[in-house]
């Protein structure tokens, strides 16, 4: 079970590093650049897949960690 946790954690780190940076969007809110603040932006293709994979890997990490804690 520890090996599964190790594999999931490495995959989670890698997939988070692959995600596009949204830091520039956040800085526009503080600096007043609100022209894109309420724009409806949908993720498509690879971005949507990476987002969903991050959610799945995060949930798997939580569940495996919880199981190991109980055992």
Domain that holds residue 70: 2-6+9-17+46-71
- Contacts of residue 21, defined as CB under 8 A and 6 or more positions apart, other chains included, come to none
Classify residue 57 by its DSSP letter: H
Q: Is 39 contained in some domain?
A: no
Q: Is 53 contained in some domain?
A: yes
Q: What is the pLDDT of residue 47?
A: 85
User: In angstroms, rounded to a whole number, what is the distance separating the alpha carbons of residues 17 and 7?
Assistant: 16
Q: What is the pLDDT of residue 13?
A: 94
For 16-62, write each residue's pLDDT tens digit.
988 876 555 555 556 555 555 555 566 678 888 898 999 999 999 99
Q: Is 67 contained in some domain?
A: yes
Q: Is 26 contained in some domain?
A: no
pTM of the model: 0.70
């Amino acid at each position: 079970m520890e090996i599964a946790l190790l594999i999931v954690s490495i995959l989670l780190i890698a997939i988070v590093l692959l995600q596009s940076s949204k830091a520039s969007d956040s800085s526009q809110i503080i600096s007043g650049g609100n022209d894109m603040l309420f724009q409806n932006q949908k993720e498509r293709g690879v971005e949507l897949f990476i987002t969903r994979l991050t959610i799945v890997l995060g949930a798997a990490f939580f569940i495996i960690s919880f199981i190991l804690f109980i055992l």
